[in-house]
Amino acid sequence: MTRGYNPEEIREKLIDVLSKSKTGLTGTEISKKLHVSRVTMSKYLQVFAAESLIKQKNIGSINLWFIEKGVDQLNFPADLFQVKNRYLEYVLSAASYEAHNLIRTSLHSGANPSKLVNEVIVYAIDAVANSYENGKIGKSEKNLLDEIISSSIYLIRLSEKEIDPKKNIVLISTDYQNYLLAQAASSIFQTEEWKVSFLGDMSSAIDVLFDIDLQRFLNKVWIKREGIMIVVIFSSTERTIKFFSQAVDASKEKFGKNLYLALCSKIAKKSKVTADFASDDLEILLQWSQTIFESSQNQ
């Protein structure tokens, strides 16, 4: 870390000085403007270039640094609504480069990853799904737009923190329709220090032996049985909710009271399945999970 600065401060100042320069700046010029040694600044420039924040161009014998197109400095939480609308606009127009740059810029500007997923990513997931259901886009286009969103979620997952081995969670999607939402949830929990096992679309696992398969899996990912384990089911139908919930209930007999079942679905509250949690709101799911974990530590 540079004396007097942290990486976030350097990033903010770098965006500011490069945004004001139309012709680019050399590494030496940047280090002087930011009052950072050339050696240290060179290291930061390489890191920020790898994050697609800046880019380098060779003009003759001179190496100049420029801000990447679409990158600017945002202020959160004030700019969250602006990002929400811009991101959806980019996704619906299949502008993947701009969409991903906006997510990177938001993270660089200090956006809360959980808020970014809940307010921006989930909003886009629902908008694309609605466009498909209303016949505004076809299956091919939906798959393309879903992939753009999926890649954005991956960018957020890269900001994950050190994992707490006592905070364990398994996320299961019972169909392709719920895959993106489950993936979005996985990114939220990873950035909140949870040990996440995202199993993706498990529709092909619907058979009489799944409860045994699930128990074997839990034995591998929750070896020492430290802390808690939450299994979250993302589903749109009562039938699949019931099937996967029964497998978790069967596992509870073996793994004990620290294994919890959560349902994340629009029909969860109407379901006749008994669960420890039921809601389609990812933010509420995270809050509940954190509360359950904290309560377990006080026992």
Q: Using one digit for the tens of pLDDT, what is the confidence trace for 26-76?
A: 989 899 988 888 888 888 888 888 776 788 888 777 888 887 665 566 777
**What percent of the chain shows pLDDT beyond 70?**
94
Examine the domain organization and report whether 27 and 141 are in the same domain. no
The last residue of a domain, from among 111, 132, 157 = 157
Q: Computed from CA positions of residues 239, 281, 112, 287, in that sequence, does the dihedral angle turn out positive or negative?
A: negative
Tell me how far apart the alpha carbons of residues 120 and 79 are, in angstroms, rounded to a whole number.
Answer: 11
Residue 1 has pLDDT above 50, yes or no: no
Examine the domain organization and report whether 224 and 293 are in the same domain. yes
Name the pTM for this structure: 0.77
183 within some domain: yes
CATH of the domain at 38: 1.10.10.10
282 within some domain: yes
Examine the domain organization and report whether 121 and 212 are in the same domain. no
Examine the domain organization and report whether 175 and 284 are in the same domain. yes
Q: What burial class does residue 242 get, using C-beta atoms within 10 Å of its C-beta: 0-12 exposed, 13-18 middle, 19+ buried?
A: middle
Kindly state the tokens that stand for 128: 């694309």
72 within some domain: no
CB 138 within 8 A of CB 94: no
Domains: count for the chain: 3
The last residue of a domain, from among 20, 41, 67 = 67
Examine the domain organization and report whether 205 and 249 are in the same domain. yes
Please spell the DSSP secondary structure of 143-172, one letter per residue: HHHHHHHHHHHHHHHTT-----TTEEEEEE
Q: Using one digit for the tens of pLDDT, what is the confidence trace for 226-257?
A: 999 999 999 989 999 999 999 999 999 899 99
pLDDT at position 2, please? 41
1 within some domain: no
CATH of the domain at 117: 1.10.1240.10
The last residue of a domain, from among 128, 157, 186 = 157
Distances from the Cα of 35 to the Cαs of 28, 30, 39, 40, in angstroms? 10, 8, 12, 11
Examine the domain organization and report whether 270 and 195 are in the same domain. yes
Examine the domain organization and report whether 188 and 290 are in the same domain. yes
The highest-confidence range among 11-25, 28-42, 113-127, 261-275, by mean pLDDT, is 113-127
CB 163 within 8 A of CB 195: yes
CB 186 within 8 A of CB 212: no
Structural domain span for residue 25: 7-67
In terms of DSSP H, where are the helices of 23-121? Answer: 27-34, 38-50, 80-92, 96-108, 113-115
Question: DSSP state, 68?
Answer: P
